[in-house]
Every structure is written in structure tokens, then in C-alpha cells.
Structure 1
Amino acid sequence: MRRRDELAGWLMVAPQLAGIVAFVIVPLGLVVWYSLHEWNVLAGSFTFIGADNYAALADDQQLGPVLRATGLFSAGLVVLNLSLALFLAVLLNQKLRGTVVFRTLFFSPVVVTLVAWTIVWGFLLQDNGGVNAFLDVLGIDGPNWLRSGGTAMASVIVVQLFKNVGLNMVLFLAALQGVPAELYEAARIDGASAWARFRRVTVPLISPTILLTMILTIVGSLQVFAQIAVLTQGGPGTSTTVLVYYLYQQAFQFHHFGYGATLSLLLFLIVLVLTVVQWRMRRRWVFHEN
């Protein structure tokens, strides 16, 4: 009976284990293997070069600006996304008329196809697009949003912000609805202001959800590709060339597949380190974890 129970347990977890092996462990192992080779698809050559790709990574003059652009995009998106999502969730958690309509309105971009969403915004942000036409009505001469370094990065951040803020809003809204009303009433009786109730009651009780959304948003911001490819192609210059788009350029435009594999390992390491750091720091501020 014990062996039968063990067999039943292994059979239940077998699909998940097979998926992890097939789609995580094997691809990661292949990427490590490819990073040790110079793979020229056009010439049909696959040459072992050892750590030469890693040496090239250390000497790459473009990697610094790429990492700065990646950090700027990630920091801007994470701060704006979490702040706006929490604000909208608190606002829509009130017992007001029309909140269901606004919840649907803010969440609807999440289910829109990413490429379609980005293409529409590309037309709106052109020099003669809808955004500048609206500003022209107000007497403001709008810039060429996608062709200037500062505005190009800001535009990409805003496009991604409006695309996914609804998802975090729904997660925060679900967490807010799980906070006991008795705690708010007790704090109100004790004379706590609305800000004090939010800071001392709301934030600690929804901190597990804040941790979840923070991890998901950071990982998602480091993997952005379609928005860059459709809107700016990494330009102007390299001002919006984030790490994933640079990886794509090296591997699929310049056919440096070995170096592209090395860049993907760098991306994996960055995501892993940031996730582990956040997970370890949860004991300091996440409710029930300290």
C-alpha cells in the first residue's frame, strides 16, 4: 500500500516534472552549451570556442548603455505600475456607483493582443498622430515622441503601463476586499486618519500581494520586447535598446547565436538575483513573514 501511494503521488506530479524538464532544464542546458560555441547558421558551422563569448561580454562597449536603458525602463515601469494600480484599486474599492464599469475599463487592455495594442499606440505617438493632434487643440506643440531619446523611453514605459496596470489593479482589489472591516473601524475609533489607516492597516495586510505583483512586474519589465520592436526598434540610437532586444539583434539580426545565448544567460542571472533578493527581504516587511 505504501508503494502504491508513492506511485500515485509520482504519477500526479509527473506532468509537472515533465514540463519543467522539457521547457526549463533542457532549454537552459542547451543555452549554456550554445554559449560555449560560435554558431553561424548561414555558414552551417558550429565551433567550440570555450569562454570566448563571456570574454566578449565583458568587453562589449554597448552592454553598459543597454543595461542602463533596461534599468531605466524597469524602474520607471515598476514604480508607476504598482503606484497607479494600488491607487486605482483603493479608489475602485469604495462603494460608489459605476465602479464595475471602471473596473472593466481599466482591465480591458490586459486582454487586448500586445502587438495590436502597440501598433495602435505607434500611430497615436507619431509626429502627426492622435496625441499631438489633441495637444495641438490645446495650443501645445507636441514633440516627435518616438524619435527623441527622453520621450521615446517615456513613451514605451507609458504604453506598457496602460497595457498591464489593470492586472495588478485586480490583484490589489482582491487583496483589499480581504482586509477585515473591523480593523478599519477600530482604527477609526482610535482616531487614526485615512492616511494612517492606509499605512498601518491596509499596506501591511496586502503586503503579500504587493510582493507578488512586484516580482511579476519586475520580471515582466526585464523581458519586454514587442513594444521596443514595434515602436522604436531600440532607437533613437540605443536609448531604448533593452537587454532582450539587444539579445534579439545579436542572435537573429547579426547571427551571433553563441553570443546571443550568452546574453540570455546574463538576463537569466539578473532575473534570478532580483527575485531571490526580493524573496529574502520579504521577512522584513511582508505581513506574517517576520
Structure 2
Amino acid sequence: MPSDSFKNTPSDGRLSRLLDRDAISAWLFLLPALSLLSLFVLYPIGYLCYLSFTSGSFTREGVHWVGLRNYWRLFLSPDFWQVLGNTGYFTVATLIPSVLIPLALAVLLDRAIALRGWLRAAYFIPSITSLVAAGLGFRWLFQTDGAINAGLTLFGIAPIPWLQDTTWAMPVLILLSIWKQLGFNMVVFLAGLQTIPTSRYEAAELDGAGAWQKFWHITLPGLRPTLIFAAVTTAIFTLRSFEQVYVITGGGPLNSTNLMVYYIYEQAFAQFDFGYAAAAATLLLIAAIALVYWQLKATEETE
């Protein structure tokens, strides 16, 4: 006869917890959400990774395993490296103002108690505006005979071919993206400011600290998790930018505004090179996952 010490093993305990009525009920409630998540998120991601190792096609007969050939083509393609440089430039140039400007506005609005609600709503309007509609508006403003050039001529400045010049086309897309992201980040920073205890500012005032010292030593450290969140969400927003390019420039002139998502779209639905496009999309997915992982690790360190 086995001893009683072998009757209740750790595996039996885990199994009993899994078969517990509350656990079964929880899994039943989660089942619809998990099914939808698997169908619309996990399966497409898995199929994307599989497609990146094939010739790529929407038909079963057209799929042929090619291994790492699509990734090798990416690294040998001058167009891919140009698009990668465009995306990096666009991301950095959008990210920095999209964090610093909303941070400054949030600090100012946190003190403007009377007008905070109205100003918050005014700055948040771009975030709920359709990006396609905003893109059409910016395209009208910055066309050769548009309102911006009309204003410049009033000051004796010659019209600038904003959307036809390789130097000026990308700044137009960056300006639109900053305008779009500004309100969301401002509201996030306002929420973060509410979590900083006012007692810290009162103690700093008693010690004779000035406005800049309070901002540098109290506000910024208190907003570190919020800053990380805003930076990561803005970076992901810029990495997945498509509507701006599609509506305003179409990737031109001379491929100078072609960003990664638009490049993937062109390769998949203009060139019908689905395997190659899937490889580029997989690399973009890895970059986004790396950003989210860094955010989680950095947030854990601040807690």
C-alpha cells in the first residue's frame, strides 16, 4: 500500500484548481473573447509569419515554400532601405514634438482651472477627426495654389511646391501626424499629473524651490510611466501610418515619403508579391512587439 504522502501530489492540486467550479465558470466566460482573439488576431499573425516564408498567394495552389528568400530580398533591396530610412526619420521627427508639446500644454492647462475643460476639448478634437479627412484638408492647404502659399505671397515669399519637393513633402506628413497625436498625448499627461501628490509641490515650495526645479525634480519623475506610455503609443502610431501617405503624397515625390506600411500595401496589392510584403510586415510586427516589451519592462522598473 502506498503511503498517504503520495496521495495528494502537486499535479493533483493544480488539476483540482483547474477543475474547480469557479475556474470552469471563468474559462466559460472568457471563451467567446478568446475565440474572437484567436480568430481575428492570433491566426492572422500566425498566417502572416507563415506567408513570409512562401511565394505568397491568396490561393492554395499559388503558395510555395521559399524559406528565407523574401527576407534576403528585403535586405538586398535599395527601395526597402530607403523606405526604412524614411520611416525612421518620420518616426523620430514626429515622436519628439508629439511628446514635448503636449507635455508643455498639459502642465499649463493643469494650472488653468477655469478654462481647462474647454481647452482640453479644443486640443483633443484632432484626435477624433478622421485621418483621411484631415489628410485631404492638409493636401488642400499645402498644394501649390493652396492657402499656405497664398499666405506666403502676402509676405513676399515665393510659393513653395510643398508636395512636389523631396525636401518639403515629408515635413507636411510629419506636421499632420503631430497635429493628430497632440490632443491624445495631452489628455494622457493631464491624467498623469493628477496622480502626483500636491504635498510634494507644497514641500518643495517650503524649501524655496522654483517652478523649473519643481518641474524637473517632481513633475518629470512623477510622469515617467506616463512619458514611456506616450512615447511608445506615439511610436507605434507613426510606424503604422498609412492614410497620410495614401491621401497626400502617394509615396512621392521620388519615393521620399514612402513609409513602411504604404510600402507593404504597394507590394501586396499593386505588385501582388504577398510573400515579400508579409516578410516586411513581419519585421514591422517585431519592431512593434519590441517597443511594447520595452514599455512593460520600463514601467516595471518605475514601480
**Structure 2 length-normalised TM:** 0.88
User: What is the alpha-carbon distance in structure 1 between the residues aligned to residue 234 and residue 83 of structure 2?
Assistant: 19
Fraction of identical pairs, as percent: 34
Match of 1:60 in 2: 77
- Structure 1, residues 230-278: CA drift from partner, whole Å, max 9, x if none? 1111111121111111111111111101111111101111212233234
Secondary structure (helix, strand or coil) at the match of 1:146 reads coil
Match of 2:212 in 1: 195
User: What is the alpha-carbon distance in structure 1 between the residues aligned to residue 165 and residue 234 of structure 2?
Assistant: 26
Letter in 1 for 2:21: R
> 1:169 aligned to 2:189?
no
**Retained in 1: the 8 A contact 2:102–2:189?**
yes
Match of 1:248 in 2: 265
Match of 2:3 in 1: none
**Retained in 2: the 8 A contact 1:233–1:241?**
yes
User: What is the alpha-carbon distance in structure 1 between the residues aligned to residue 249 and residue 256 of structure 2?
Assistant: 9
Secondary structure (helix, strand or coil) at the match of 2:63 reads strand
**Retained in 2: the 8 A contact 1:41–1:255?**
no
> 1:150 aligned to 2:167?
yes
Q: Which runs of 5+ in 1 are unaligned?
A: none
- Structure 1, residues 160-185: CA drift from partner, whole Å, max 9, x if none? 11112101101111111232222111
Secondary structure (helix, strand or coil) at the match of 1:235 reads coil
Q: What value does the CA root-mean-square deviation take over the aligned residues?
A: 2.0
Q: Which has the larger radius of gyration?
A: 2
User: What is the alpha-carbon distance in structure 1 between the residues aligned to residue 291 and residue 115 of structure 2?
Assistant: 39
Runs ≥4 residues deviating over 6 A: none
- Structure 1, residues 126-154: CA drift from partner, whole Å, max 9, x if none? 11111111222233224111111221111
**Structure 1 length-normalised TM:** 0.92
How far residue 282 of structure 1 moved from its aligned partner, in angstroms, is 4.3
Match of 2:133 in 1: 116
User: What is the alpha-carbon distance in structure 2 between the residues aligned to residue 11 and residue 158 of structure 1?
Assistant: 47
**Retained in 2: the 8 A contact 1:110–1:166?**
yes
How far residue 41 of structure 1 moved from its aligned partner, in angstroms, is 6.0
Q: Which runs of 5+ in 2 are unaligned?
A: 1-15
> 1:180 aligned to 2:197?
yes
Letter in 2 for 1:150: T
User: What is the alpha-carbon distance in structure 2 between the residues aligned to residue 147 and residue 177 of structure 1?
Assistant: 45
Cα distance change, pair 282–40 in 1 and its aligned pair in 2 (3 A): closer
Match of 2:296 in 1: 279
